[in-house]
Amino acid sequence: MAVIADRCPEIEVTVVDLNQARIDAWNDADLSRLPVYEPGLDAVVGRARGRNLQFSTAVEESIAAADMVFISVNTPTKTKGLGAGQASDLRWVEACARTVAEAATGHTIVVEKSTLPVRTAAAIQTILEAAQRDDRGRSFTVLSNPEFLAEGTAIGDLEAPDRVLIGGDDAGSIDALAQIYGNWVPAERILRTNLWSSELSKLTANAFLAQRISSINSIAAFCEATGADVREVARAIGTDSRIGPKFLQAGPGFGGSCFQKDILNLVYLCRHFGLPEVADYWESVVALNTWQQHRISRLVVEKLFGTVTGKRLAVLGFAFKADTNDTREAPAIRICRDLLEEGAQLAIHDPKVSSTQIARDLQIEASPHTDALSGTGNWAMADTIEQAVVGADAVLILTEWTHYRSLNWQALGDLMRRPAWVFDARAVADPQQVKASGLNLWRVGDGEG
């Protein structure tokens, strides 16, 4: 919404939320304190806020004044009830549809921006149609306009998207939304489909991207077993123009709020529509991802003589990828939990993630390092990499922060307890340098390591 406001100064954009604290944070005069860390977002908000971009808790009034309403609430995986663990929880989407049905005036175009299961638009339409039948002369159309931005590169993705997808059956409404994007997106990149294709394309795009990561991670494990190097294999296959070079980076598995959630949702829908083989096929992408994370924690334990109890391990990176403070489904969570279960003492460093967030994710409060071989795992935040590494038996690199690419391994190695290991799950450290400093090295997908 900030990018739309930035690119279309003649359009009034109001972002509403029921949460006053959240809205206050978006209105914070200090742009470095916006609630989401995303490179370039502060500048965009700085340009548009107060001009044609407002953040407000006046939900009903803003809907009443709007020609177009974007439903952009989250749709997490259900944790209980029908479809628990797979289906998307649509309670917030439905609540929004009902609020719009109540508060809208005149003709309102309702745009699904949230990632939704196929045919959700039908439910939204039904709720809005019921409202249309009162005598207030209102009318509604529903469009699907899924978002393809990735975190960390969101502003660039929005400013120069590969494509914008608009699904719907009312040509006038589609044109109205296409016109907004047309202010900065070339017309040939604005794709029009029916509602169901648009909803399904979003799930499918994420499923294909995640599938590539599981595919390359499966080959990474095979490389380690056979002496091949997954980066060489990725380069060799990526030069085939039909395969392409992107999304072939082996690592600790995909994290983030979308891939796992969207695939599980797809799996749930396939089962619902009587396609168990299709469901099993996509479910295996998630299973391989979970396996990869446990595989890494297992091999750390194995390399450290079969036990990490009481050992200090430095964890570099907790975010699910670089350039974000988001930790949802981060591979670090599963790997750290496994190691805590084994009684390890973790010193965790991340340039953007707070210790409160890590405590929430690990479901254990941070506590100071103890040497006791009590078997109880502990973790503490390290403000610097040196602080994390001092006295450690191993360093695990779990996020590819740029900073971790050029570490001085000679100096860091001197701070560690020997024999010491570097487990580089992102393959960002210079292998020659690590080995030259007398450290043992495991790199994802490196059969010679």
- Site for ligand UGA, residues 242 to 271, rule: CB under 6 A: 247-249, 251, 254-256, 258-259
Q: Which residue is catalytic, options 8, 96, 223, 258?
A: 258
Q: How far is the CB of 400 from ligand UGA (least distance, A)?
A: 7
Residue placing its CB nearer to ligand UGA in the complex, 68 or 150: 150
In angstroms, the CA 160 to CA 62 distance is 29
Phi, psi of 386 (to 5 degrees): -60, -45
Residue placing its CB nearer to ligand UGA in the complex, 256 or 310: 256
Residue placing its CB nearer to ligand UGA in the complex, 191 or 366: 191
Q: Per rule CB under 6 A, is residue 148 in the interface with ligand UGA?
A: yes
Q: Per rule CB under 6 A, is residue 150 in the interface with ligand UGA?
A: yes
Count of residues of this chain found to bind ligand UGA when the rule CB under 6 A is applied: 20
CA angle, 323 then 234 then 227, to 5°:
115
Q: Per rule CB under 6 A, is residue 334 in the interface with ligand UGA?
A: no
Q: Per rule CB under 6 A, is residue 327 in the interface with ligand UGA?
A: no
Residue placing its CB nearer to ligand UGA in the complex, 213 or 381: 213
Q: Per rule CB under 6 A, is residue 147 in the interface with ligand UGA?
A: yes
Q: Per rule CB under 6 A, is residue 233 in the interface with ligand UGA?
A: no
Q: How far is the CB of 377 from ligand UGA (least distance, A)?
A: 24
Q: Per rule CB under 6 A, is residue 316 in the interface with ligand UGA?
A: no
Q: How far is the CB of 310 from ligand UGA (least distance, A)?
A: 30
Q: Per rule CB under 6 A, is residue 318 in the interface with ligand UGA?
A: no
In order of 1, 212, 252, 286, 316, the CA distances from 443 in angstroms are: 40, 19, 11, 22, 14
Q: How far is the CB of 255 from ligand UGA (least distance, A)?
A: 4
String marking each residue 83-102 x if it binds ligand UGA according to CB under 6 A? --------------------
258 is catalytic: yes
Q: How far is the CB of 34 from ligand UGA (least distance, A)?
A: 17
Closest C-alpha to 395, from 415, 375, 378: 415
- Site for ligand UGA, residues 191 to 220, rule: CB under 6 A: 206, 209, 213
Token pair, residue 208, equals 């294909």
Residue placing its CB nearer to ligand UGA in the complex, 136 or 405: 405
Closest C-alpha to 207, from 324, 89, 286: 286
Residue placing its CB nearer to ligand UGA in the complex, 206 or 265: 206
Residue placing its CB nearer to ligand UGA in the complex, 108 or 206: 206
Q: Per rule CB under 6 A, is residue 115 in the interface with ligand UGA?
A: yes
- Cβ burial of 188 (10 Å; 0-12, 13-18, 19+) is exposed
* Catalytic residue positions, numbered: 258
Binding site for ligand UGA (CB under 6 A): 115, 147-151, 206, 209, 213, 247-249, 251, 254-256, 258-259, 320-321
